[in-house]
Every structure is written in structure tokens, then in C-alpha cells.
Chains A and B, each alone.
Chain A
Amino acid sequence: MFELSPQHWTAIELSLRVAVVSTLVAMPFGIGIATLLARTSFWGKSALDALVHLPLVLPPVVTGYLLLITFGRKAPVGAFLADHFGIVFSFRWTGAALACGVMAFPLMVRAMRLSIEAIDRRLEHAAATLGANPVWTFATVTLPLAMPGIIAGMMLAFARALGEFGATITFVSNIPGETQTISAAIYTLTQVPGGDAAALNLVIVAIFISFAALLASEWLARRAAARLHGA
């Protein structure tokens, strides 16, 4: 009974690829912005904070449309990236990854920022008295202590990327084999007669992946916390 067509296997593989790539690429930016927001004060900080959170509040279709008119093949940034670096987003899986990364970014930054804010700064002062400059202090004290929050942020981003639908379909459409993720494939199946059984199979796969990701992140976070507190 449980059978998936090659096209749907491709959708599963694509969903995983898009979620993993968007999470990994967003991570360094997330850590950077989270640190900036947690640790510094500068003119325009609230504006940056609002900008980061915007994808959480905007309808995903709006975010997708904004990406389209910014990173499309003929749009200014999209054309520049294509001509100078050969990076094309429109109607490619990389565009889906970009959309997922943007949509997941606020959740990622939030979790990371909270964990960085929770770190006892007196430990960083102790590192400084021991000769660690700010970069080394960040790498050897701040980052390791923030690790549980960084893992949580990446997990949230991964989950958000798996579930992303609106921004992706608006930006890069729903092309089987290129931009059709699990969500888009399920949506397509519900639009055709007799697609219910296949849709249900994909739903089961989606539930399975989400569950596995949750368990894995729980395990990782617990391990990281145990390492911090001496096991």
C-alpha cells in the first residue's frame, strides 16, 4: 500500500536538501546577527531587529514576492549575482533554499540570541584577564556556552524549512524535480482527482522526518548541556 513514485522520492530528497542547505548557510549569519543584537547597541538596532523578524509576521506570499522582485533573474540583485558569480536562484532549488532560509531566519536568530544573552559575562571577563582577546573569548567561551541555543535555533530553522510552502511556491514555483518539495507535492496531489492516497503517503513521510528531527535535536541539546555542566 505504501508506495511512492520516483517523482515523490525526488520531492522528499529535495525537501531534505533544501532544509539542510538553508539551515547550514543561514547558521553563520544567524550567529552573527544574534551576537550583534545580544551584545551591542548601535544606531538602528531596533530597525535591524524588526527587519530580521519581518518574515515571521509578513504573509509568506509577500516574502516570496519580495524575493522574486529582488533575486529574480531580471531583478537587480539576482542579475548581479548571476552575471558575476553564476549564482541563479529563480526556478532553481537554490531559490527554494533561499526562501526557506529567509523564512526560518527569525526563529533561528531568536533562539541563538536568547542563549547568548543568558551567558554569564563575568566568564568572558575572566577569559580576558587570562589573555584572550575578544575574538578568542567569543570562540572559546561564548560559542561553546551558547551551543545548546545554537542547536535549538538550527533545529527550529530546519523544521521551518521543511514546512515552508508559501514563499517558496511564490518565488520559485512548483517544478517537479527542481523546486517541488514535499509540501508542494502534497498540495499538487490534493488538486488532482485520485491523488489522496499518494498525498497521505507523503504526509506520513513528512510526519516521520519531523519526528526524527525533533528527537535528534533533543538528543543533541541534551548532550551539549551535559558537556557544559560536566558529565
Chain B
Amino acid sequence: MAGQTSGGTAARGLNMLTVQVEKQLGGLSVNVAFSTQGSATALFGPSGSGKTSVINMVAGLLDPARGRISLGDDVLFDAKEGIDVPVWSRRIGYVFQEGRLFPHLSVRNNLDYGRWMGGHKHDAREFDRIVAMLDIGHLLDRRPGKLSGGERQRVAVGRALLMRPRLLLLDEPLASLDAARKRDILPYLVRLRDEAHVPMVYVSHSAAEVRCIARRVVRLDNGQVAEIGGTELLDRQQPDMLL
């Protein structure tokens, strides 16, 4: 399939995200540099370590004071050259911790929102594939207000995927769910990593989640990169970080 070929090359590293950013946020001094590799990279660290701020900078929701962000060959932000691609032109999917579905639109229209804004034609096969992957077909005509937490997050993932992102950011997508719900949704996220053909950056403070999903881990502490490596660095974490 043509779509899979291009997505496959992206997952193999063509759309590598390279981040080097600095910003003072209240008492937290963020100074972070890393690049992604392969299909799933985790930003891992305790709350308040600057994980969300970093991906907000990648998405364009927060401006770094200094630095450079690039995705593949495309420079999204460069303080020195005065480049700052606006959020709506970056084509980076974002799954927020609280879902942030539009309450006035049905699930189907939430899913279609990115396609409308991007001016893409309806692609029934792609729509059906993602709806089936996330198992949200029975929810399409409902309003977000009537969904459970887990359903809401699956729809949020689908909405971000259907905009055809070049990169997918997930900010603690399971944090608002109870343990049983987390176990229900994790397999969908693993499928997402293996089937969606979009590189993803997964933000979490939970070592267990990160171990399931990411291959490469960037550990943040107090606004700085503490270490970068494979999932083996999760083994050295304090016990309270393990779930």
C-alpha cells in the first residue's frame, strides 16, 4: 500500500525530531536537547520536570526563548533565524491528558475535524481503519459528554491520527484513568505504535507505561535531560516511579 510505504519510511527515522530548547518557566529552568529514534520515544520523569512544556514547544503552543526544533528536513522553530511555524501549520498530532474533545461536536465530527481544517478529501478506508484499530465504531454518533474516560482518550487518539500528522505527541494520555482502564487502553497504544506508521513522543511519569510503549527513553529531571537510552534505564528508577 502506498500509504504504508511512506509511513514506514517515516517510522524508520526520516521524520526524526530534533529538539534543542531553553526557556525559564517560573522557578523551572528548562534546557533540553534530544532527538527521537524509531517509532516511539518516551519523555519520562516526575511531574514538574518540564515534560509537558517541552512537547508544547514541539507542538508550537509554547515558544522557547532560545533553540531550534526540526522535524525531518523541516525547521519548525529557530530562534536565531526567526523561524516559528504557527501551530496550525505544523501538522503535529497532539493527544492531551484530558482529551479535549470538542463538546459541541459528535464523535464523528471530532474525528473529522482535522481533515476539514487540512482540506483533505474523505478517505473512508483510512477512517474505517483507524476507527477499527481504536474500537470506537459504536461511539460515532455520541457526544463527548456521554463517553467514559477511556473512550474519550481513544477518540482523542483517533482525532489526532486522522489529521494525518507527521508526528504524534501523547501527553500522559492515561493519567486521568484508573488502573483497570489503563490496562484496557495500553494495548491500543501498542497497536498504535506498530500500525499507525507515525512516529510518536510519549510523555509519562509511569515507568510501567513507558516500558510497554517506548523503545527509547529520554529521562528529564528538573528541566534538564538526566539520561537518554533504552528502556533498561527504567530499571534503575526509584520504586515509587514504577507505576
Q: Name A residues whose Cβ lies closer than 8 Å to a Cβ of B.
A: 122-123, 125-134, 136-137, 140-141, 144-145, 227-231
Contact = CB atoms under 8 A, between A and B. Distances in A.
B13 interface: no
Contacts of B12: none
Contact of B87 (A129, A140, A229): A129
Interface string B92-128: 1110101010111000000001100110000000000
Given A129-B59, A130-B114, A131-B118, A144 B104 contact: yes
B114 A123 contact: no
B144 interface: yes
Contact of A230 (B89, B96, B146): B146
Contact of A128 (B61, B98, B118, B145): B61
Contact of A229 (B92, B103, B118): B103
B94 A129 contact: yes
Interface residues of B, number: 30
A123 B102 contact: yes
Contacts of B160: 129-130
Interface string B158-171: 01100100000000
22 contacts: A122-B98, A123-B103, A125-B61, A126-B94, A126-B100, A126-B102, A128-B87, A128-B88, A129-B59, A129-B61, A129-B90, A129-B94, A130-B93, A130-B159, A131-B114, A132-B117, A133-B88, A136-B117, A230-B103, A230-B143, A230-B144, A230-B145
Given A130-B113, A230-B144, A125 B104 contact: no
Contact of A127 (B113, B118, B142): B113
Contacts of A123: 100, 102-103
A228 B102 CA distance: 9
Contacts, number: 72
A64 to B, nearest CB: 41
Contacts of A125: 61, 87, 100
Nearest to A132: B117
B91 interface: yes
A208 to B, nearest CB: 34
Given A131-B91, A131-B118, A132-B117, A122 B104 contact: no
Contacts of A140: 113
A130 B61 contact: no
Interface in B68-98: 86-94, 96, 98
A96 B95 CA distance: 52
A130 B117 contact: yes
Nearest to A229: B145
Given A122-B96, A130-B163, A227 B104 contact: yes
Most chain B CB inside 10 Å of its own CB: which residue of A123, A127, A130, A141? A130
The 10 closest A-B pairs by CB, nearest first: A230-B143, A131-B117, A230-B145, A130-B114, A128-B87, A126-B100, A129-B94, A132-B117, A144-B104, A131-B118
A126 B103 contact: no
Interface in B1-19: none
